[in-house]
Chains A and B, each alone.
Chain A
Amino acid sequence: MSVAARPQLSHLRALESEAIHVMREVAAEFERPVLLFSGGKDSIVLLRLAEKAFRPAPFPFPLMHVDTGHNFPEVIEYRDRRVAELGERLIVANVQDSIDSGRAVEETGPRASRNRLQTVTLLDAIAEHGFDAAFGGARRDEERARAKERIMSFRDDFGQWDPKNQRPELWNLYNGRIHKGEHARVFPLSNWTELDVWEYIDQECLEVPHIYFAHERKVFERDGMLYAWREGTELIEGEEIFEETVRYRTVGDMSCTGGVRSHAATLEEVVLEIAATRITERGETRADDRVSEAAMEDRKKAGYF
């Protein structure tokens, strides 16, 4: 057969098609799905995939953001604008509410972070709204424990993940059966890499929050990472605030997400930078994964994203 007869379905189109298939399976087989939208690049891609899967109809699920109260203001502004453009419903679950009601206890000291507390708020919100499936933007290339996670991943009635006892996942046949109180986490981007995500954002001309591009910012250095300084940040002795040109590779809570020195100011430059990088995104920017060799695995077992 001649070369011309080969289909021109790029790897991005193949990944896109797989993700759309996953989303429609969930819509069809679960009663009350929800899509977790943080305003970060991965969940921005999820929203575009949902448009591709369900338009011209509205999404058959609401969006939800677990807000630590320490998010970048630019990202929150972007989140609300994007939701309004789509005309979809957004639920905001606040970590502050969990703290106020005594469900979660705030950490103290200069290294305090609300990262762990998000799990409480997330699981409470899932229970409160009766969600039985939650789409997340996690990818298997991000982290070693995630490399073992299923596309449709079962959570017991405590929200826990049991990595040694996962359902086998064969062909493209997903077993979405659960009992009441249990739920599934669904990761349509499982097989995407960070570079795929950026190439897709570029291909689809998706807007992303400005903090993904190089900008001047007041930062301080801690544990080899550059953190954004904001009013109220407690510094440790020896730390200084200085201006630096940075961009963010991941967008999470300000208290545990570091920026990288970069001059990549356009999508094209970001794609080139990611294609050439020698450090993983979590290794470079996330303090939460540096706690131990299995930090992510431990948080995931407890019900984290």
Chain B
Amino acid sequence: MTLDLLRFTTAGSVDDGKSTLIGRLLYDSKQVFEDQLEHVAQASERRGGEGALDLALLTDGLRAEREQGITIDVAYRYFATARRRFIIADCPGHRQYTRNMVTGASTADVSVVLIDARRGVLEQSRRHAFISALLGIPEMVVAINKMDLVDYSQERFEELVEEFEGFAHRLNGVKQISYIPMSALDGDNVVERSQRMPWYDGLVLLEHLEQVEVAYDHPNEKPARFPVQWVIRPSGAAGGEDYRGYAGQLASGGLRRGDEVAVLPGGARTRIAAIDTYDGELEEAMAPMSFALRLEDELDISRGELICHPDEAPSVGRALEADVCWMTDEPLRTGSRYLLKQTSRNATTVIDAIEDLVNVHTLERAPAPQELTLNDIGRVHLRTSVPLVFDPYASNRRTGSFILIDEASNRTVGAGMIAAAA
């Protein structure tokens, strides 16, 4: 069975039916097991449900979540159909919302934005759509949910599509937006086609997720980026004394044996002598495969350097502009110092300036804020202790992203997306 893997993200709070939608996807695609159902049935009863299964309880895992009826953290769910394997990053809507949405969106190929058909395009849906676009998710599905509460009205659906479109033209980077009217509670248009909305002739949600083409389908359209993670050098006789393999995961593009390559930031050039895997040598490799390269010339290459084709090289520099999502209570200020991790490279960084702060409701950028506080997103200028090898995030999510780490507490405090060299 050869399936591909699709990662998608949802976000929302208890009220807009997100957990119910996920529960419905799992339940209707027969991915819920009997003992899980039994748990849900017991829990639904204890919480005074009226006999109906509360599908939302399928997704709430921690004790505090079940006690308080909220979702605290990003949870990952898995299911498969005959066509695809899916990973859902299920993000809570109301606590640490931006931080969680950014985390869930960072690995997703598709974003499912929920809208409550009665209430229209609320702040939270806008925020999720904006974050999905900022995090470079090319495909967006707008799930217009709770259609049962607006009498399955085509007019209402079209009104909401128009309202969302009015806002969506300001979202950069989203390639396609699809709108699906549904009722997750009753299962209409989630897995099964609704009999109550004959006016809708598009795909139902699961069909759409099974068929959508994502950037992952075309890794060769991007230039090759191979950050070196680890150098394989057997000591002694095992495997040959001269063996030296540069191991890593291809972040984008493809490499072939014999290709001329450059090693950055230094810029040395050589050719690929072999592409090694445990299962044997390859003629050609493509993202996101993990393998080890042997090179024709003996170069002293270490972790953190990046191998690419010389005519398609990324930028190298120590001054950057980036959008940063701030994830901790202690604010980010001009002059602050952090550890920065980008690809397999570590550096120290200093914030030179905070250029603006994004209002995630209006998408407007307010210039020159004093600081970025928890859940803020803004454009910053920063300098690094060693040169970084990078692409703008908009053209490469793997080489354009970084995290910021607090030097004293070791906590991850920020997520960065590189806009340009400064």
Contact = CB atoms under 8 A, between A and B. Distances in A.
A277 B32 CA distance: 10
A94 interface: no
A55 B278 contact: yes
A108 interface: no
Given A7-B286, A9-B288, A24-B247, A172 B398 contact: yes
Nearest to A280: B33
B394 interface: no
A7 B289 CA distance: 11
Contacts of A15: 5
Contacts of A167: 411-412
Given A58-B238, A170-B415, A191-B78, A148 B290 contact: no
Contacts of B80: 193, 195
B62 A25 contact: no
A293 B42 CA distance: 10
B36 interface: yes
Contacts of A148: 61-62, 72-75
Interface string A190-234: 110101100100000000000000000000000000000000000
B272 interface: no
Interface stretch (A34-42, A116-124, A138-146, A257-265): A138-146
Interface residues of A, number: 65
Given A58-B234, A293-B43, A175 B61 contact: no
B66 interface: yes
Nearest to B218: A1
A11 B3 contact: yes
Among A51, A168, A196, find the residue whose CB has the most chain B CB atoms closer than 10 A.
A168
Interface of B: 1-5, 33-36, 39, 43, 60-64, 66, 72-78, 80, 84-85, 87, 99-100, 102-103, 106-107, 217-220, 229-230, 232-235, 238-240, 243, 247-249, 277-279, 286, 288-290, 303, 327, 339, 341-342, 344, 397-398, 401-403, 405, 410-412, 415
Given A24-B248, A171-B106, A279-B33, 4 more contacts: A52-B290, A148-B74, A175-B412, A297-B62
Interface of A: 1, 5-11, 13-18, 20-21, 24-25, 27-28, 51-58, 140-141, 144-148, 163-164, 166-173, 175, 177-179, 190-191, 193, 195-196, 199, 277-280, 283-284, 293-294, 297-298
The 5 A-B residue pairs with the shortest CB-CB distance, nearest first, are A56-B239, A283-B35, A144-B61, A177-B410, A57-B234
23 contacts: A10-B3, A10-B4, A11-B2, A11-B84, A17-B290, A24-B230, A24-B247, A24-B290, A55-B232, A56-B239, A148-B61, A163-B73, A169-B412, A170-B103, A170-B401, A171-B403, A173-B341, A193-B78, A195-B80, A199-B1, A279-B34, A293-B39, A298-B63
